Chains A and B, each alone.
Chain A
């Protein structure tokens, strides 16, 4: 009996030891034992995930003994994951960063200053335009390297509009856009999605067209009237039947390229003839359509295309403070930007390559979608655009991910009219912006 008890005690102690040892190796995986391992995280769609995985393989092949652990999520989940990683000081070494979150992560001291790696030549920026570099500069320090340029683009079903005999012109006004939406609905039964339940870029864009800035200094730069005009489009659309009903959106994941009403759904009532996206997303959307439908793009509607239009660093790579191998991480960023094979693999997935020499290298490998994307940026947007708004303040996250979507929802469901909703939104948004300061 006593011997039995002794064995139990020894076993239990052994088990405890093993379990603690297991913990040890778990946390050690990002520790000193792996000087040759980096983790890279990004958000994206199927196409990007495949291409990025190939680039990671190329980097491993070019650097003997190095392993790259790629982690991808959809946009929504990505930011949740990243924030919890940041809380645990376990952020991946290299993370994709969006313009709208950049300021927050810098303010909280989570990013590494890249200037040291640019100075010592680890990241070669000699072929990158100064304007591109300055997009990732805050207070004179380079925290982020832009991976490509993109611009807001109204991606639409050209096969459908051609069949209906409707031409979609560049530089539309909002009224013209509504008019076309109505025509499409009357002739084909296919409806419209006015960037419902997504972040505030469209509202921001329309405001820019009127010379206003959505996120001012600590408060909303839009008046109640501005917001009401914007929400009116939904109110009118749902009343007249040409906007996709909110019930449809309850069944899909908002913001997902693969489930966008432009490419997803079979019933006309659940489809949209267009989608408010960015030009770099054209190819991913086209890839979902296997029935020969052709997509095309133009700029978003606004009162003044030149004032409203802008070129945006489509995303950045940054190195995090929790990285154990910042030097290797810097090498990865350099490889991604300057290695010909890497650039040829990603093509225009994150917008046009920032390395000007690479533009010529990839020209021949661009497929039709990429070429459309390039010519849209070069011919439609760049000659007809103005400087991008400064990075959004911290409170903008709440406005983008909660306040605006839910106010749009209340208007679409007819729970509130545009005027009441606008008043409420302006109040809530100002609260959010003030409290996050």
Chain B
């Protein structure tokens, strides 16, 4: 590649100057023809991405696949151990199953809740008032901040024994010393609430597609005497299903890959009831120095996420409205 980057600017300069030498003219002519091809410009423009994709995605993925068959411990050399990591994962690691269960619970509960919330707020913000711009921004904000460490720490303080939640309960006469983060029944829900609170990006996508629904449909429906409620179920929701589908797939994938919330707020405590798959993988890799095992876990997760996504696509024809069909 260094060849191309070195020659490009100079040939571009020569090309626009006077052509004096016949020999170099022929060569440059060929180069110019090459450079003027539509596809070359495309490749050059896409180069930074292609380079990044190869270096930071494909190469590490291949390496991690290799490591998943080794006993790599990060600080030493890796040696091949075949399928041992995978066998251990499925037969001996209780935390693998535990964290898988927690992650599924988290994704399957938080994602639908988040989408319902996003849709409700999007419907409310659809009206064009002066303040709606402000509210759209305000409701979008958590989804930018939500994954950050600062919010995670804030969350931990809020749900602490002497935190805001218990103090607010105190105002209503409920004298609570409840440790929301310390109880196996409630800890996961604090993380789910945090995830639902980050509904902003789904909300924006809903807003955009709500605006696409032709107003005539609603007019025709109200002429026929359909109530707002009927209009929602018969017009809005069916026409939104492609957007819901898109949001569902994207958020599901994100849900399975959740990490920060658990890592900063609960670290899997109490009793691993909030141990996300990704955090277990991280602990195995970097705390216990079982990086080969961690790589194997990553590949299992890749297959699982792929399977869930395929499943969602398979259900598509039963509930997603398709204009062409």
Contacts and interface: CB of A to CB of B under 8 A. Distances in A.
A306 B74 CA distance: 39
A248 B41 contact: no
A16 B75 contact: no
A250 B74 contact: no
Size class of the B contact interface (CB-based, 8 Å): 35 or more
B183 A8 contact: no
A12 B48 contact: yes
Interface in A201-260: 245-251
Interface in B55-112: 73-77
A247 B156 contact: no
Nearest to B2: A20
B162 A267 contact: yes
Contacts of A13: 4-5, 8-9, 44
A198 interface: no
Contacts of A415: 271
A249 B5 CA distance: 57
Nearest to B35: A9
A110 B75 CA distance: 8
B81 to A, nearest CB: 10
B295 to A, nearest CB: 12
B45 A8 contact: yes
B36 interface: yes
A19 interface: yes
Contact of A105 (B5, B44, B75, B286): B75
Interface in A14-54: 14-17, 19-20
The residue in A83, A104, A267 that gathers the most chain B C-beta atoms within 10 A of its C-beta is A83
A250 to B, nearest CB: 4
Contacts of A5: 36, 41
Contacts of B41: 5, 8-9
B184 interface: yes
A104 to B, nearest CB: 7
A413 B8 CA distance: 68
Contacts of A84: 74, 286
Contact of A409 (B1, B8, B74, B269): B269
Given A87-B74, A104-B75, A251-B182, A12 B45 contact: yes
Nearest to A401: B287
B270 interface: yes
Given A2-B36, A10-B8, A87-B74, A250 B270 contact: yes
Contacts of B187: 250
Interface string A100-131: 00001101111000000000000000000000
B194 to A, nearest CB: 15
A410 interface: yes
Nearest to B272: A406
A251 B36 contact: no
A379 to B, nearest CB: 38
Interface in A394-426: 394, 397-398, 401-402, 406, 409-410, 413, 415
Nearest to A2: B36
Nearest to A7: B12
B245 interface: no
Contacts of B170: none
Contact of B286 (A83, A107, A245, A413): A83
B35 A83 contact: no
A9 B44 contact: yes
Interface residues of A, number: 49
A409 B47 CA distance: 52
A76 B47 CA distance: 40
Contacts of B28: none
Interface in A66-87: 76, 79-80, 83-84, 86-87
Contact of A402 (B160, B177, B287): B287
Contacts of A64: none
A221 B12 CA distance: 74
Contacts of A267: 161-162, 177
A12 B47 CA distance: 8
B288 interface: yes
A83 B291 CA distance: 10
A364 interface: no
Given A9-B44, A108-B76, A267-B161, A247 B182 contact: yes
A250 B182 contact: yes
A112 to B, nearest CB: 15
A5 B16 CA distance: 13
Interface in B285-308: 286-291
A415 B273 CA distance: 13
Contact of A15 (B4, B48, B161): B48
A402 B283 contact: yes
B99 to A, nearest CB: 13
B184 A413 contact: yes
B29 interface: no
A5 B4 CA distance: 16
B169 interface: no
A269 B40 CA distance: 70
B288 A247 contact: no
A250 B289 contact: no
A365 B253 CA distance: 59
Interface in B175-195: 177, 179, 181-184, 187
Given A6-B16, A247-B161, 7 more contacts: A6-B15, A13-B9, A86-B75, A251-B179, A267-B177, A409-B271, A410-B271
Interface of B: 1, 4-5, 8-9, 12, 15-16, 35-36, 40-41, 44-45, 47-48, 51, 73-77, 156, 160-162, 177, 179, 181-184, 187, 266, 269-272, 283, 286-291
11 contacts: A6-B16, A16-B1, A20-B5, A83-B75, A108-B73, A245-B182, A247-B183, A250-B179, A250-B181, A397-B288, A398-B288
